[in-house]
Amino acid sequence: MKDVQNEPDHRKIDLARVGIKGIKYPMNVLDRDNDSQATVATINMYVHLPHRFKGTHMSRFVEALNDYYADLNLKTFFEMLDTIKKSLDAPAANLEISFPYFMKKRAPVSGVPSMMEYTCQYIGEINGDERKLHIGVRVPVCTLCPCSKEISTQGAHNQRGIVSVTALFKEFFWIEEVIEIVEASASSDVFALLKREDEKFLTEQAYSRPMFVEDVVREVTDKLTKDPRFTVFSVEAENFESIHNHNAYAYTEVAPELS
């Protein structure tokens, strides 16, 4: 049968990324407490397309995924990227995996357990001999406004927010470690299940630990920079403001050339 994708393209324009997006597949990820946990990943797969080719072979992405999905983890991540790169005769390949990750958390006073969801990402690239893997974690938190507390005779406004950490993977670390660093850097952390005594505790805890969105980013950054495993990373925080018609936002990144 005629292979149109391999035909030359007269415009002679390289394409940085071509591939498939949004395919969902089962996946196992490492779990500090239970060795591993099953999840469902949303996956984007790309290759660099040289100008001499009209198109890429989309089916080969799914074929590679079929070969690795049962054991798709950090150990096999680059194996899969190598397979994609070679099978598509590409100079570079990219793989983005996003998945929900669950941790059992106990409420701070009652101790009732519940499962807390976090969103994680593996973002990897092979370009020639260069290999890069970034791991991202999105953590929900609660913050209480220092300004509101200072100027009010009663109470202060608070809100949920999302803190996102993306770190270059050079040395092994647990997803749970990043989550714990973030939660310890906010006014309070967030739970799926709370009893009244827990709500009282967390409300008072947040009131005693007011944090601007800038404070959260700086606290997380300070803790990460003290851990030698995290040499290149970014920290982003967005608060879903409760009394403003906008969100509050802060971001920073740390790399050897910036520090």
The answer to whether residue 53 scores a pLDDT higher than 80 is no
pLDDT value of residue 258: 47
Domain boundary among 72, 101, 130: 101
Interhelix angle 77-87/58-68, rounded to 10 degrees, is 150
| Residues 126, 124: Cα–Cα separation, whole Å | 7
Confidence of residue 257 (pLDDT cuts 50, 70, 90): low
| Residues 80, 187: Cα–Cα separation, whole Å | 40
Evaluate whether residue 148 is within a structural domain.
yes
Q: Which is more confident, 256 or 118?
A: 118
pLDDT value of residue 3: 58
258 and 235 in a common domain: yes
The answer to whether residue 218 scores a pLDDT higher than 90 is yes
Asked if 250 and 213 touch (Cβ cutoff 8 Å), the reply is yes
Domain that holds residue 124: 107-259
Express each pLDDT in 238-251 by its tens digit: 999 999 999 999 99
143 and 74 in a common domain: no
Question: Residue range 92-103: average pLDDT?
Answer: 96
Question: Residue range 98-122: average pLDDT?
Answer: 97
Q: How many domains does the chain have?
A: 2
Domain boundary among 101, 119, 148: 101
Question: Residue range 189-217: average pLDDT?
Answer: 97
Domain boundary among 75, 101, 127: 101
pLDDT value of residue 128: 86
Evaluate whether residue 6 is within a structural domain.
no
Listed in sequence order, the residues at least 6 apart from 239 whose beta carbon sits closer than 8 Å to its beta carbon are: 143, 159, 160, 161, 213, 247, 248, 249
Confidence of residue 8 (pLDDT cuts 50, 70, 90): low
pLDDT value of residue 259: 44
226 and 175 in a common domain: yes
Asked if 118 and 134 touch (Cβ cutoff 8 Å), the reply is no
167 and 95 in a common domain: no
Question: Residue range 107-130: average pLDDT?
Answer: 95
Question: Residue range 74-99: average pLDDT?
Answer: 90
Residue 188 is part of a domain; what is its CATH number?
A: 3.10.270.10
The answer to whether residue 63 scores a pLDDT higher than 60 is yes
35 and 159 in a common domain: no
Evaluate whether residue 2 is within a structural domain.
no
Question: Residue range 174-191: average pLDDT?
Answer: 96
Long-range CB contact pairs, 243-249, < 8 A, 24+: 243/157, 248/161, 248/212, 248/213, 249/213
User: From start to end of 128-157, where are the E strands?
Assistant: 130-144
Question: Residue range 179-202: average pLDDT?
Answer: 97
